[in-house]
Amino acid sequence: MAKKAASKALADVKKKFYITTAIDYPSGKPHLGHAYEKVCADCIARWHRLLGEEVFFLTGTDEHGSKVSRCAKASGKAPQKYVDEMVVYFRELCAKLNISYDRFIRTTDSDHVKISQEIFKKIYEKGEIYLGEYSGWYCDECETFFTEKDLVDGNCPTHGKKAKWVSEESYFFKMSNYSKRVLDALEKNEKIVLPEGKRKEIINRVKEGLNDLSVSRANVPWGIPVPMNANHTQYVWMDALLNYISGVGYPGKDFEKFWPANIHLIGKDILWHHTAIWYSILMAAEIEIPKTVFVHGFINTESGEKMSKSGGTVIDPVALSEKYPADALRYFLLREIPFGQDGNFSEDSMRIRLNNELANGLGNLLNRTVTMIEKYNAGEVPNAKTNIELRKKLDIDGIKKHMENLELHHALGKIFSFVHACNQFTNEKEPWKLDGKERDEVLYSLADSLRMASILLQPFIPETSEKISSQLGLKLGLLADCSFNKLKAGTKVKKAEVLFRKLE
């Protein structure tokens, strides 16, 4: 009884981890940039599950506003019908890439609409939102107002599209009241925005002061109605950002459990929205701000250019995941691009990594190990201990440290150095020339090492991890199982399909 109560108490204190991606505009099909963000967030979420933490992982779509409504119009559909059709592609992307979200939020979900209105009303009733007149330069693409000096030759600094002069009645949020508090928060906590360069960048921008923000539109009917005035809809960012709290059940138990978010994972173009605007809204609503906003880099084309629809350079991740194993794409994205920096995507480079590291490296190691155990030990893991020299080649503490510091590429690199060391160990020991205890030690070492690799690789290439552990006759373990010599002698291995086929 006492034991049961103790284990329940332990479960109650399980560490919580809440991670979000930005929610995508379903104004077109998802591109590789959307896939990249989801894969990175998924890797981090899976890592925290592996640590035994209780994880909530939120992703979804940002469905209101003039941009989506323009696209719906162009396709001759009502906005709701249009987003209902488009969201299918984003869900399909998640399914193809094994994105293990706990909720896929749509900003048209009724609970989100209700919470957005409640927060708007709460801030209005505090006197922090007022009715005024707005005039300014507006970019329809990013749904953002700019000052004259932000524009580049009259164009949006992000999209290069002509900004238009908009003048209309609007509700304003007194964001200027939060300049000091936002700046203090950014300056006080080194981890609040990562990488560090991005924190510096945003501090410098916030130092210039925050202006009041127009938070309603009188001429955009496709949006959440402003609760106190049905002629207005909420500005799309005033609706979208709130997904991070509505998506985790604000103001209920799950929200209490998981908030503040541990990581908002976003691209560099929306850092302002996720710091200056989001912190101010949360401060006005008297809600704690998130712990970390992590800014990942952009995926560009092979030649380093920005993907663009008009230039025909948009890379379709669903098409890629049909042509290559999903894990090959995940592996490439997580290994090739230093997390936090920009990177280029090239199918040729992906194929090279697939052939060399996944097929020749990992796949070959598994294949050799299982084949030899079948041949020399009737398919049963021999009774031995893992070779001490080989054990030294796996830097588990280093991998943990890299994951803690969100250096996903380094963590994956270290796991693959170990895979490489295991192949080298096999070549050096030549177990096919050995027998007795010596051969047993090599075979046990390889199977035990692959078991460890399958645990560590789960966040990165989850399907492959499952396949490895199933060929080793095991269930996938947690990080707590990731120490050597835990593999039981006599475990029955079973050879199956090769992990990765080499491509020309």
Catalytically annotated residues: 31, 34, 139, 142, 156, 159, 306, 309
Does position 298 bind ligand MSP by CB under 6 A? yes
- The contact mask relative to ligand MSP for 50-69 (x = CB under 6 A, - = no) is ------------x-------
Closer of 34 and 112 to ligand MSP (Cβ):
34
- Asked if residues 284 and 126 have their Cβ atoms less than 8 Å apart, the reply is yes
213 binds ligand MSP (CB under 6 A): no
> What span, in angstroms and rounded, lies between the C-alpha atoms of 251 and 124?
18
Q: Which of 105, 96, 12 lies closest to 54 in space, CA to CA?
A: 12
Put the strands of the sheet holding 213-214 in their side by side order. 144-146, 129-139, 164-173, 213-214
Least distance from C-beta 440 to ligand MSP, angstroms? 48
Number of residues that make up the chain: 504
The CA-based angle 109-112-113, given to 5 degrees, is 85
Binding residue for ligand MSP (CB under 6 A) from 299, 365, 479, 482?
299
**298 token code pair:** 């952009």
DSSP assignment string, 462-474: HHHHHHHHHHTT-
| Percent helix, percent strand, percent coil in the chain, to nearest 5 | 50, 15, 35
113 sits near ligand MSP (criterion: CB under 6 A): no
Stretch that binds ligand MSP, among 17-25, 77-85, 327-335, 455-463 (CB under 6 A): 17-25
Q: What is the Cα–Cα distance from 356 to 350, expressed in whole angstroms?
A: 10
| Contact region with ligand MSP (CB under 6 A), list: 20-28, 254-262, 319-327, 398-406 | 20-28
> In whole angstroms, what is the distance from residue 400 CA to residue 403 CA?
5
> How far, in Å, CA of 271 to CA of 273, rounded?
5
Show the binding pattern over residues 425-464: x = contacts ligand MSP (CB under 6 A), - = does not: ----------------------------------------
How far is 12 from 10, CA to CA, in rounded Å? 5
Is residue 241 a contact residue for ligand MSP (CB under 6 A)? yes
**Window contacting ligand MSP (CB under 6 A); options: 3-11, 32-40, 437-445, 473-481:** 32-40
Cα–Cα distance, 275 to 262 (Å, whole number): 14
CA distance 303 to 285: 45
Least spacing, CB of residue 301 vs ligand MSP, in Å: 9
- Contact between 276 and ligand MSP per CB under 6 A: no
Q: Does 289 bind ligand MSP (CB under 6 A)?
A: no
Q: Nearest distance from residue 257's CB to ligand MSP, in Å?
A: 21
Q: Which is nearer to ligand MSP, 26 or 462 (CB)?
A: 26
**Part in contact with ligand MSP (CB under 6 A); list of ranges 8-16, 33-41, 347-355, 391-399:** 33-41
Q: Which stretch, 217-225, 237-245, 423-431, 457-465, contacts ligand MSP (CB under 6 A)?
A: 237-245
Distance CA(129)–CA(280), nearest Å, equals 12
23 or 55, CB closer to ligand MSP? Answer: 23
Q: Which residues contact 208 (CB under 8 A, 6 or more apart)?
A: none
Round to whole Å and give the CA distance between 241 and 275.
11
354 secondary structure, DSSP code: I
H helix runs in 405-479, sequence order? 408-429, 436-457, 462-471
Pairing of strands 129-139, 144-146: antiparallel
Q: Does 239 bind ligand MSP (CB under 6 A)?
A: no
Helix, strand, or coil (residue 126): coil
Q: Which is nearer to ligand MSP, 37 or 407 (CB)?
A: 37
Determine if 36 is a binding residue for ligand MSP (CB under 6 A).
Answer: yes
Minimum CB separation of residue 131 from ligand MSP in Å reads: 25
Quick one: which of 97, 220, 240, 456 contacts ligand MSP (CB under 6 A)? Answer: 240
**Smallest distance, Å, CB 192 to ligand MSP?**
17
Output the smallest distance, CB 497 to ligand MSP, in A.
33
Query: What six digits make up the tokens of 263?
Result: 């990581």
Q: Which residue's CB atom is positioned nearest to ligand MSP?
A: 267
Binding residue count for ligand MSP, defined by CB under 6 A:
19
Q: Select the span of 18-26, 92-100, 329-337, 417-425 touching ligand MSP (CB under 6 A).
A: 18-26
C-alpha span between 197 and 296 (Å, rounded) = 12
d(CA 160, CA 162): 7
Residue 22, interface with ligand MSP (CB under 6 A)?
yes
Sites of contact with ligand MSP (CB under 6 A):
22-25, 33-34, 36-37, 62, 240-241, 243, 266-267, 269-270, 298-299, 307
